[in-house]
Amino acid sequence: MALVAPSILSADFSALGEAIDFLDKEAVDYIHIDVMDGLYVPNLTFGPPVIRSIRSRTEIPFDVHLMIDRPEHSVDQYIAAGADRITFHTDATIHSHRLVYAIKEAGVRAGISLNPGQSPESIRYLLDDLDLILVMSVNPGFGGQKFIESSVEKVREIRKMLRGRDVEIMVDGGVNEHTGKRLVEAGARSLVAGSYIFGHEDPSSAIRALRSL
């Protein structure tokens, strides 16, 4: 079964607490939180205060995706706010290896996010130190974008590169029951879905559809 990580980027921000309560009731595997700073990507979203405010509503792990410039300057704030897993982009920081270890030393699982234009080869020498790899199947910054088809082959390539390492492959962007099926077959373990879940006429059935893959 696929692990399901609904992205609250697509939730109703005016009722964010209720959205968290719904995901808690559905017992999803992770709650995916997209953090954007308006610099690394042209959008602004959640910060540590929002994460801290919803942390008390659920014990489901928070999967925090930092789409921010120089994440090493603020990663401690996201950890303190309640992040259980943190991914960041290698082109947003100078010393990726150092930041991976700083996150792990704080007791949080660490991962790298790969943009559509980035090759898996760019993280080959980090593979032994990662807990997860987040493959972006859309360009980061906004929800509801069209799935980039080459992402399936990228997942397959990463799975081969891992050579049995216990590293979770997660995919984010344009995920639904159809694209999700192909991604899981290629080697993905967990699926991030925002519009597909929160825009569905029956969000619970959307979660079940992904989980059954």
Residue 15: CATH number of its domain:
3.20.20.70
170 touches 190 (CB < 8 A) = yes
Q: What Rg do the C-alpha atoms of the chain give, in angstroms?
A: 16
> Is 34 marked as a binding-site residue?
yes
pLDDT tens for the 213 residues of the chain, in order: 899 999 999 999 999 999 999 999 999 999 999 999 999 998 889 899 999 999 999 999 999 999 999 999 999 999 999 999 999 999 999 999 999 999 999 999 999 999 999 999 999 999 999 999 999 999 876 666 789 999 999 999 999 999 999 999 999 999 999 999 999 999 999 999 999 999 999 999 999 999 999
Q: Work out the burial of residue 122: count CB atoms within 10 Å of its CB; fewer than 13 is exposed, 13-18 middle, 19 or more buried.
A: middle
Residue 119 lies in domain: 3-212
> Is 164 marked as a binding-site residue?
no
Positions marked active-site: 34, 172
Domain count, the chain: 1
Sign of CA dihedral 155, 183, 28, 117: positive
- Residue type (1 letter), 129: D
> Is 204 marked as a binding-site residue?
no
At what angle are helices 203-211 and 16-26 packed, to 10 degrees? 40
